[in-house]
C-alpha cells in the first residue's frame, strides 16, 4: 500500500503526515508513506487544497487533517 501525504511542508501538512503514520502503525498494515511537495503531482490528481492524503492513487481527503479514526477506516481497521 502506498500512502501519499501532499502539502507544501507547513505545520498542518506535517500534522497530517503524523496522523497517517500513527494510524498505519496502530493498524499494523504494510504501507509506505511518502510526502509529496510537487505541485504538478498534486494538480495531476486534482488536489487544489492541502494537506491531502491519497492511498494507492485514490484521493481520500483534501484541505484538512484527517482524524486517526478516519485513516484507520481507510486502512480497513
Domain of 53, CATH number, reads 3.40.30.10
Residue 77 has pLDDT above 80, yes or no: no
Confidence of residue 46 (pLDDT cuts 50, 70, 90): very high
Q: How many domains does the chain have?
A: 1
pLDDT at 60: 97
Domain extent, residue 56, equals 2-74
Residue range 35-53: mean pLDDT, rounded: 96
Q: Which of 64, 76, 77 is nearest to 19 (CA)?
A: 64
Active site residues: 10, 13
- Work out the average pLDDT over 63-77: 95
With the CA atoms of 55, 11, 38 and 69 taken in that order, what torsion angle do they form, in degrees rounded to the nearest 10?
10
Amino acid at each position: 500500500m502506498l500512502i501519499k501525504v501532499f502539502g507544501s511542508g507547513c505545520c498542518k501538512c506535517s500534522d497530517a503526515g503524523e496522523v497517517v503514520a500513527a494510524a498505519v502503525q496502530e493498524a499494523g498494515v504494510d504501507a509506505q508513506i511518502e510526502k509529496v511537495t510537487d505541485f504538478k503531482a498534486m494538480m495531476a490528481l486534482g488536489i487544489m487544497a492541502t494537506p491531502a492524503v491519497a492511498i494507492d492513487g485514490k484521493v481520500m481527503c483534501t484541505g484538512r487533517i484527517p482524524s486517526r479514526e478516519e485513516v484507520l477506516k481507510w486502512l480497513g481497521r
